[in-house]
Amino acid sequence: MKWFLFPRRRHQAEKEVEDFIRQSFGIRPGHLSYYEQALRHSSVAEKIRPGLKNSNERLEFLGDAVLDSIVAHYLYTKYPSLPEGELTKMKSKVVRRENLNLLGYALGIESLLKLNLGRQEMHDSIVGNAVEAMIGAIYLDKGFDVTREIVLRLLKQHGLDTRVHDDVDYKSKLHEWCQKHRKTLDFRVVGHSNRGGSSHYKVVVRIDDEDRGSGEGGSKKTAEQNAARIACEAIFKG
């Protein structure tokens, strides 16, 4: 009886991945194994086939390079008069780690990840890494032109292409993350001075009553943003 159950479970897992690919990217996978590997974290890869490097890390490496190339070409053609330095800054705002993490959650990719972290919590960067691995899988399966079309569509759908013009609102992003994960968020002024007519604030950000970062500035708002930036860097880039 057990011999028949495994193929059935395998077929169901394959169908879930196929459905995800069609719904999220609008394509039918040609080589499903690429996408399965993109969803396989290193914590389970060694247990499946010891000694074989079949986690998503190599696909993540490839996807990172493909993503950089797509965004660089997009910015190069859209802003023909900008110098290299400005284009580099704009690209970094689009492909930064926190954006990939948020995109992964928006796609729901975390629900399909295969991992075995024991008692450790899944860090958000694992989700962002899987997004890069998925881009690598699409590239291998469908080629660069199709991958570019899909990536640009996703970036525009989720507003990531507009980040080239915006300074990051770390406080808002922290609020969004805490709401998503049902955590309490509190900004506390722990220091305030007024010398020579200039104010100076120090703020601590607390998540679930735990200090996650502190910031200083000439206004309470600036200090809160600086504290939120420290917290976001730890959460999304750690």
Q: Which residues are catalytic?
A: 64, 132
C-alpha angle 18-23-28 in degrees, rounded to nearest 5:
45
Q: In what order do the strands lie in the sheet with 210-217?
A: 185-195, 198-207, 210-217
The residue whose two tokens read 């009553």 is: 209
Quick one: how far is CA 83 from the chain centroid? 27
The residue whose two tokens read 């970062």 is: 213
Closest C-alpha among 235, 215, 236 to residue 226: 215
The residue whose two tokens read 């057990």 is: 2
Length, in residues, of the chain: 238
Closest C-alpha among 99, 115, 230, 101 to residue 166: 99
The helix (run of H) or strand (run of E) holding residue 198 is: strand 198-207
Closest C-alpha among 106, 155, 138, 129 to residue 22: 138
